[in-house]
Amino acid sequence: MGGTAVAEDDAQQHGPRRAGLRPRNVVLLAVGIVIVIAVALLNVIHVPVAILRPGPVQNIFGEINGKPVLQISGAKTYPTSGTLDFTTVSMAGGPQYPVSVMEWIGAKFDHDAEIDPASMWFQSGVSGKQVQQQNTSEMTDAQQTAKVVALRASGLKVPEVIKVAMVADNAASGKLLKVGDVIVSINKTAIDRLDTVAQVMGKVKPGAKVAMVVSRNGEDVRLSVPTADNSGRAVFGIGITPSYTFPAKVNLNVGDVGGPSAGTMLSLAIYDKLTPGSLTGGKKFAGTGTISEDGVVGPIGGLRQKLAGARSAGAQYFLAPASDCSQAKGHVPAGLTVIKISSFGQAVSVVKKVAAGQTTGLPGC
């Protein structure tokens, strides 16, 4: 009994024994903590790059969120078949979606990802909101131009006037021209198209005065307007914008897609709906490219990613701006035929050829 009492007193005096961490476990715990901190830092520290990946691909004859992408009223329309897809790029980087070190490392192992300096895609000092506003504005302009090109190509008339949208503070024209003026003529040449202004002004010597007639508040005003030299071109120091009277209502629902690169494919889809027969002949086309009022197909970015996205979506043929063909070298997915185009008219022509089974001799990248 005495021995038992001593044992109890000893336990009460020194307390229960504690098992300490072994040195190996201490090292493992420290390493784990370092790894957690490192991963957290890799997700917080940003890299000044932009990462491009394939984005969503949309059939213009399909729907977005249950609503048709393309609807036309006020003009006769025709059934279509096949697909005319516009392609997009998913981009991380810039003020809206800065790239973390972890994302940057992951992109290096992604075959479809392209890593560029952020300065290639974003201007310094521009906010995320400003980037979004610019993208939205560019898409709005692209839709309007696509409508004009397609409607005119289908044989419908789209009257147009050119308005003064902005007058620079130091404009050579001074206060002669005002915002809202409709330009009726320049040097006796009637102005009824946006490209006519460039054609006429291309013949004017910088510094010379130009005879202009503008419509202001419903009255014609005759002016002699001085010009200035801008890199060898005669300019007034104003901004102009076209205003159209559309013969039919064309509604486009493109979701939250921004930028101008869907212009060419939108114009083709509108044209297809307005003309007899299926333009594609049931084939699956995708593509990209800006479109100007005179039908010129312009350059875009991210062609490599758009090719990958198009093929994943099932496209057989891809319409690419001729000016961007170099981007396609070595990046054309198996089963996808890339056709280079430089104008709306050429795009219509090659699509018709493919639809008719003429798949040889097409201009490729």
Whether residues 63 and 74 fall in one domain: yes
What does the pLDDT read at residue 18? 52
pLDDT in tens, 302-359: 999 999 999 999 999 999 999 999 999 999 999 999 999 999 999 999 999 999 999 9
**Residue 25 pLDDT greater than 90, yes or no:** no
125 in the same domain as 54: yes
Indicate whether 235 and 265 sit together in one domain. no
- Same domain as 332, residue 223: no
Query: Please, are residues 82 and 286 in contact by the beta-carbon 8 Å criterion?
Result: no
147 shares its domain with 230: no
- 250 lies in the same domain as 240: no
Q: C-alpha distances in angstroms, 52 versus 49, 114, 288, 311?
A: 10, 5, 16, 17
- pLDDT value of position 132: 87
Mean residue pLDDT of the chain comes to 90
For residues 89 and 226, membership in a common domain is answered with: no
Domain assignment present for residue 44? The answer is no
Distance CA 251, CA 353 (A): 28
Domain boundary among 244, 278, 305: 244
Per-residue pLDDT band for 6 (boundaries 50, 70, 90) equals very low
Tell whether 61 and 90 lie within a shared domain: yes
Single-letter amino acid code for the residue at 193: R
Domain that holds residue 222: 160-244
* Average pLDDT, integer, range 173-197: 94
Task: Give the pLDDT of residue 20.
Answer: 60
DSSP state of 316: S
Q: Are residue 285 and residue 148 in the same domain, yes or no? A: yes
Domains of the chain: total: 2
Instruction: Determine the average pLDDT of the residues in 118-144.
Output: 90
Do residue 188 and residue 148 come from a single domain? no
pTM of the model: 0.82
Looking from the CA of 358 toward its CB, the CA atoms found within 13 Å total 9
| pLDDT at residue 150 is higher than 50 | yes
CA distance 214 to 220: 6
Structural domain contains residue 311: yes
How confident is residue 22, by pLDDT bands cut at 50, 70 and 90?
confident
The answer to the question of residue 265 being in a domain is: yes
Clarify whether residues 306 and 265 are in a common domain: yes
The residues carrying an active-site annotation are 261, 306
Q: Is residue 4 part of a domain?
A: no
Domain-ending residue, one of 210, 244, 278: 244
Is residue 141, in this structure, part of any structural domain at all?
yes
Predicted confidence (pLDDT) per residue in 35-94, tens digit? 777 667 656 788 999 999 999 999 999 999 999 999 999 999 999 999 999 999 999 998
> Same domain, yes or no, for 139 and 61?
yes
Please check whether residue 13 lies inside any domain of the structure.
no
Whether 43 maps to a domain, the answer reads no
End-of-domain residue from the set 244, 273, 289: 244
Q: Please report, for the domain that includes residue 291, its CATH number.
A: 3.30.230
CATH of the domain at 234: 2.30.42.10
| Residue of 26 and 223 predicted with greater confidence | 223
Question: What pLDDT shows up at residue 97?
Answer: 87
Angle, CA 258 vertex, CA 255 and CA 262 arms, to 5°: 90
Please name the residues in contact with 310: beta carbons below 8 A apart, sequence gap of 6 or more. 57, 85, 87, 286, 287, 318, 336
Quote the DSSP letter at residue 354: H
Residue 29: predicted pLDDT: 67
What average pLDDT does the segment 133-149 reach? 95
